[in-house]
Amino acid sequence: MKKHGTKDAEEVIPTPDPEPMVEPEPKPEPKISRRIPAASLVVEYKDRGIVLNPNLIESQNVSEEGIEKLKELHLERLMLMDEMDHEKKSTRLHVMAEEYEHLEFRLQKAWGFPESRKYHRWWEVPKCTCPNMDNKDNYPCDYRIIAGNCPVHSIGKPKSKFRLFLQKIYSKFVK
């Protein structure tokens, strides 16, 4: 305690003792999987590749079998994207887009997430001309902004029975 006063009278005013210095708690280390070598999380196919997120593997408690399943699904996805790169027929691209959508659901399930199409980044497939920025800005979202001339997602006016058939199937998945 400090003493404050004047010449005539001395008055004792209590002042609080300074609080002891408290060391801030150290930030927790991010969960990094120590059981899985980083090189084993890489999936590559031709000029494409992805790396599985080790922190997500830990937080979702993905097993060794689950990791292998994820790698298989991502390889399948990369192969499909490569196939789409080389496809010229719009009707075939529509079918491939559906396959891509099914793969996205399977990946969500393998990661242990609820299956929801609003988390699919469907506009990133090869040859898609749908507005990238508009769809990114609305992500995650249930509705999709599709370009009328997109060779992958736009159905347009049916020109054949096969195209009409595709339109019916496609409309069941895109609402």
Helix, strand, or coil (residue 54): helix
Question: What CA–CA distance (Å, rounded) separates 75 from 49?
Answer: 8
Q: DSSP character for 15?
A: -
> pLDDT (tens digit, 0 to 9) for every residue of the chain, 175 residues total?
545 555 555 665 665 565 666 666 654 444 444 456 667 899 999 989 989 999 999 999 999 899 999 999 999 999 999 999 999 998 899 999 999 999 999 999 999 999 988 888 888 899 999 988 887 888 888 778 888 889 998 876 545 566 667 666 766 665 5
Query: For the chain, what are the domain ranges?
Result: 29-173
Q: How many helices (H) and strands (E) does the chain have?
A: 5, 4
The answer to whether the CB of 115 falls within 8 A of the CB of 105 is: yes
Residue with tokens 């999380």: 41
Residue 32 makes CB contacts below 8 A (sequence gap 6+) with 54, 55, 58
Question: What CA–CA distance (Å, rounded) separates 120 from 174?
Answer: 12
> Model pTM greater than 0.85?
no
